[in-house]
Structure 1
Amino acid sequence: MMNSMESEQTSVLLSKYLEKKYTGTEEAINIKRKAIILTESLINSDFNDHIDTGSYGEGCYQKGSDMDKMNVDKTVAVMYPDQCIPQHLVHKTILYIRKADCRPGYVNLEIDQLFFKHSFDKYFSNSLVQIGNSLFISSDMYREEWVSFYTTIPGIKCESNGPSSAFTGMEDKDIVHCFQCNSWPKEANEWITRTRLYGWPHQTLIDKTVSNGFHVVPVGDKCSEDTFLQWRISFAVAERSLVHSFSNIQVKVYTLLKYFLKQIKETLKESIGDDDILCSYFLKTILFHAIENSSHTFWQEKNLFDCFWFCFNILIACVRAGFCPHYFIPANNLFQRKVHGQNQQILLGILDNYCQMKWMCLSVGNFIKPSIWEDLCDTSVQANLVSATNLQQNILDHDKGDSCCFVIEISTQTRAGQQGIALVIDIKDKF
């Protein structure tokens, strides 16, 4: 068992290791993100926007991750029925949001006006369904129209996966064909005004996120009986903006969480028969909640493992409760479909076992070999990391001079740690 000083020293070593092998430097991450956004602006057209989402779009791509992309049809606009159609949308197809008979976070889309002028409009028109006197667009039909189109291309293997057309072969890529709504979803209004004790996300980021609206993607609520007309509200662009606001240490915690998930996938498959009972989206959601409910002074390099452990314990608390609140729509339980009954108990047992291991949990799994823990215990790896750290520190000391904030950081970190523990207890008590 490490004492606090050893844990801090190992956390710093872990931080340098992740930077060298996974994340790159903070500057490199920022350059990748700017390059992605610039590339999008160059390839977007009057008819379509192309948005990189998931790990790649967030600048946190790892081995084994898919390339996730959204293809937004700009000839279609999604609105609420109580909104007036602005002049710039009169020559577009208008879809009205209607309540769906399922969990919050899903909607039906009713046709208000049709305006076809693009060769791909046939995939839209082939997906229309008459319900009484109204015309709706089916998410299932629209998604499968695109999958059918891609499979006609020689050499392309494509199948439906959630809302996406999933490609396999030389490059694993998921493309989601979707529509945009320029207003904020009413189901997520609480996110705008909720009390935030620690100032994240800051008001400017909240305002920007809300102004960007949301997307609807072609997949229904798998907990409901009839998904035929249901479309999921997607916050992918909002989530990308939030991840882009992460500090360097928060990016590394995100990387550790996704690394750990990849390493335990095989165990989940063998024990539960479903390695998707936990997914990276759940972990990202937990990280959002963790950052919002803790002081920024907690997220320091010397606390890297404690920050990871904070998130890990929130995950365990959520699994124990069978409830993981969606970050933007807390009434939507992300665990409702799979984390219940016997599977919930098996998953809880697996996570509790890892919890007993603490630092050694970074040694489990075979997806990536050697494991992070094995590398950190390698004296040659340690020497390389320490020498690189010493060189970097000498340069920083020369450039910045002596710092006088060290004592302040220690005192505030202690309070942040207490706040972190309180949050986990609060989650357990609440559920």
Structure 2
Amino acid sequence: MFHMPDYYHNISMRLSEVLDDIGVNENIVIKRRRTTLLTETMVTINFRANGKQCNLYYLGSQSEGTTTLGLQSDSDILYCIDGGIVIQDWSEWTPGKLNLLMIQNEITPPGYCLLQVLRPDTPLPATVELANIAVNDTHGRILFKNTITDAAYILQGRQRQGPSTTLAAEPGFVAQDLVLALPCISCPQSLRAWLHQQETNTWPTAEMKRFAKSTRCFVVGVGSRASENAAFEWRLSTSLAERCLMFNLNITQIKCYILMKMILKTYIKVENLDNESYISSFMCKTVLFLCIASKPSSVWKECNILNCLNYCLFTLNSCILNEHCPHFIVHENNLMAGKFSAEVKQKLLERMSTLIPYDGISLFGIQIDNLGKRLQIKLNMINELHYVLPQPDEQTISITGVLLVIIAQEVSEVVEIGAGSLEILLQKMIQLKRYYRAGDMLEKTACRLLIPLLCTSIGSLIASQNIQINNTVSPQALTWIEAGLDSDVASSRLKLASIMYCVGNAETAASILSHIEERYKTEVTEPLCHCYNFCKSYFKTGFGRLSSQYGVEALKYIVAFCVKFFTWEINCVPHELQYEMFRSTQEDLQHRGMFDDWMDCAVVDSLPYLYFLQYKTYSFLQRPEEQQQALNKLGWVIRTEHNLGHRETALNLLGQCMELENRPADALQCYMLSLRLRERNNAARFHICRCLANTIS
């Protein structure tokens, strides 16, 4: 390691404090990881309960806890399809599966393989060429093409980039990289070689290697840049083994990696024509692994962070100079092979030369998370009073608030649009209960969060059938609904109130609504809509504070899902809201995206629906004073709540209330405001026509 000047110690300690302040500390790193693993578990359980044989893995910086709010790291998702399997030996052949035999020879680049298609009925090579997805090679083998992934997951708004498709970032949402993968039945030879090699250093430990050995390996659909057979090559992915290594880094190593990414973004980043960086964060991670493996663990401490960073940058510079960055696990795989031209290499080296030897001065120029300014304030170089920067507790509140929303979004998707059969919903409930009984702590937590909303949907479906037959609600329906009341602050209880109103039990409805209003603390409760990419303007401070304090358990106290009625629940919906199920004309349908199935439902934010139902219920009970209070509150929440995902629907409900109040001009104004928010697929068009017709007549 380099000689450490005296001032390195002071800068290192202050730098470590700055990183603590912006959320790079053990507490937040653990919270990020737990959130990712829980989300990953919920998605996989949900898929499997719906009969889909696949697993989702959330990888990269978001899952590792190696990011900050300012870095805006991508969300990397690996989508593993279990219908196809990659085998390395004929003894692994499995009937009824798409069996693909891994081929690695002298012509396949290190870290890559070819996949030979085998017959599904007997362990023999396939002989019939599959149109567009496989082709005969010169040896007569049917090889699986990696371009199959194009048809499988190039979705609307996504662009192909290497093995993944990318969904660009939008305001309030990070970019997503989705990678389609096939699982390997056994550990590939390259990983086995890494597991068994003798290291002079103590990292990775034998325990870490044992854990890595137990994780799954995959192949992903991308060929080597330098290969002539790129369309038939598949890259080996040891992502889960790499995640194991990342989970075993200490906080100084994590901070060092984050600083490398900040420096990369600020000073080194050079992009190609496809806006892909020549030096990726994965290369920085690999360099970090190489440095950790080559230096004693005693080096990696916070008072030495600047020296550690210097060594990492020096190693990265050597990799660029030699155009050689060996994959940490598959050493023969050079991550920089064919990656950049001599001209680009020269540019990269010129930029690196300004950083090596690294004295820490360039840190002052990093604007990400205001790191440079924060460091100068810590070193008493500038006056803190001249700058308004988020305080550490504000950073923590923001991060934990976002993490709770991520979990809540997955919970809200437990019931699918097409699950309109009671048999389907009950079967899903059986599957979730099975996971809960036999699962580990993560699976139990996931099921505990998912089951309540499913209970509510089952009860509501039964209630809708009851109302259609005899305008009553059976004890069976009520039992299911009551089991789901604590899904969140309001949405399930609002469904119960809505059902009571629809069967004419207004007194009970009014009592339920009053209880919901008491539970709904507007200063801390966040409305949550995941029907579409709704951009939240900000999170309430109280919401972030409680999410930080109570974790996932806070979901049922400070999150209010939007209330979603599917078409099979139509008899539980007041007629004013039923219009939303028929919002689209034939022309409107042409303007829908592939994720717009929610538009066939009646969906409304919880708080506006609460006040709308109060207005209708108090009208039924002939309590005009309370009815007017509810109407005023409905108008108030539409004006003041920033994070309403379905403001246009709330305006449509308010407009219909105005019509009942014999205020057609105000009603029309509500409908016009609604149309400004959503020009297409909006029931406001029907309301305008009706309102005008009634006014004229």
Q: 1:138 aligns with which of 137, 145, 153?
A: 145
Question: Which residue identity lines up with residue 36 of structure 1 in the other structure?
Answer: T
More relative contact order in 1 or in 2 (CA 8 Å, sep 6+)? 1
The structural deviation recorded for 1:182 is: 3.5
- Once the two structures are superposed, residues 206-263 of structure 1 have per-residue CA deviations (whole angstroms, 9 ceiling, x without a partner) of 0111221411001111111231111011121111111010001111111111111111
The answer on whether the counterparts of 1:360 and 1:373 sit within 8 Å (CA) in structure 2 is no
The answer on whether the counterparts of 2:320 and 2:345 sit within 8 Å (CA) in structure 1 is yes
Gaps of 5+ in 2: 122-129, 393-697
Q: Which residue of 2 aligns with 1:168?
A: 168
Matches within 5 A, 1:242-321: 242-265=245-268, 268-269=270-271, 276-321=277-322
The answer on whether the counterparts of 2:77 and 2:179 sit within 8 Å (CA) in structure 1 is yes
Cα distance change of structure 1 residues 60 and 357 upon mapping to structure 2, 3 Å threshold? closer
375-384 or 322-331: which moved more? 375-384
The answer on whether the counterparts of 1:147 and 1:159 sit within 8 Å (CA) in structure 2 is no
The structural deviation recorded for 1:178 is: 0.7
Cα distance change of structure 1 residues 369 and 69 upon mapping to structure 2, 3 Å threshold? closer
Q: Which residue of 1 aligns with 2:463?
A: none
The structural deviation recorded for 1:39 is: 2.4
The structural deviation recorded for 1:137 is: 1.6
Cα distance change of structure 1 residues 277 and 113 upon mapping to structure 2, 3 Å threshold? same
State the alpha-carbon separation in 2 of the partners of residues 144 and 275 from structure 1.
19
State the alpha-carbon separation in 1 of the partners of residues 58 and 276 from structure 2.
25
2:66 aligned with 1:67: no
2:382 aligned with 1:374: no
State the alpha-carbon separation in 1 of the partners of residues 268 and 61 from structure 2.
18
The structural deviation recorded for 1:93 is: 2.0
Question: Which residue identity lines up with residue 137 of structure 1 in the other structure?
Answer: F
Matches within 5 A, 1:316-335: 316-335=317-336
Q: What's the TM-score once normalised by structure 2's chain length? A: 0.48
Q: What's the TM-score once normalised by structure 1's chain length? A: 0.77
Q: Which residue of 1 aligns with 2:186?
A: 183
State the alpha-carbon separation in 2 of the partners of residues 3 and 291 from structure 1.
18
CA-based RMSD:
3.0
Gaps of 5+ in 1: 116-123, 152-156, 389-431
Q: Which residue of 2 aligns with 1:232?
A: 235
SS in 2 for 1:84: helix
Matches within 5 A, 1:374-393: 374-378=373-377, 379=380
State the alpha-carbon separation in 1 of the partners of residues 235 and 376 from structure 2.
45
State the alpha-carbon separation in 2 of the partners of residues 369 and 28 from structure 1.
15
2:62 aligned with 1:56: yes
- Once the two structures are superposed, residues 83-128 of structure 1 have per-residue CA deviations (whole angstroms, 9 ceiling, x without a partner) of 5127xx433221110126342111111112338xxxxxxxx98623
Cα distance change of structure 1 residues 51 and 353 upon mapping to structure 2, 3 Å threshold? same
The structural deviation recorded for 1:358 is: 2.2
The answer on whether the counterparts of 1:325 and 1:331 sit within 8 Å (CA) in structure 2 is yes
Q: Percent identity?
A: 23
State the alpha-carbon separation in 1 of the partners of residues 369 and 62 from structure 2.
22
Cα distance change of structure 1 residues 169 and 203 upon mapping to structure 2, 3 Å threshold? closer
The structural deviation recorded for 1:356 is: 4.4
State the alpha-carbon separation in 2 of the partners of residues 205 and 287 from structure 1.
17
Question: Which residue identity lines up with residue 26 of structure 1 in the other structure?
Answer: E
The structural deviation recorded for 1:187 is: 2.6
The answer on whether the counterparts of 1:198 and 1:296 sit within 8 Å (CA) in structure 2 is no
The answer on whether the counterparts of 1:127 and 1:137 sit within 8 Å (CA) in structure 2 is yes
Q: How many residues align?
A: 363
Q: Which residue of 2 aligns with 1:359?
A: 360
State the alpha-carbon separation in 2 of the partners of residues 176 and 105 from structure 1.
17
Instruction: Return the structure number with greater strand share.
Output: 1
The structural deviation recorded for 1:146 is: 2.5
2:228 aligned with 1:217: no
239-248 or 352-361: which moved more? 352-361
State the alpha-carbon separation in 2 of the partners of residues 355 and 43 from structure 1.
44
State the alpha-carbon separation in 1 of the partners of residues 291 and 250 from structure 2.
13
Question: Which residue identity lines up with residue 138 of structure 1 in the other structure?
Answer: K
2:89 aligned with 1:90: no
SS in 1 for 2:22: helix
State the alpha-carbon separation in 2 of the partners of residues 77 and 275 from structure 1.
31
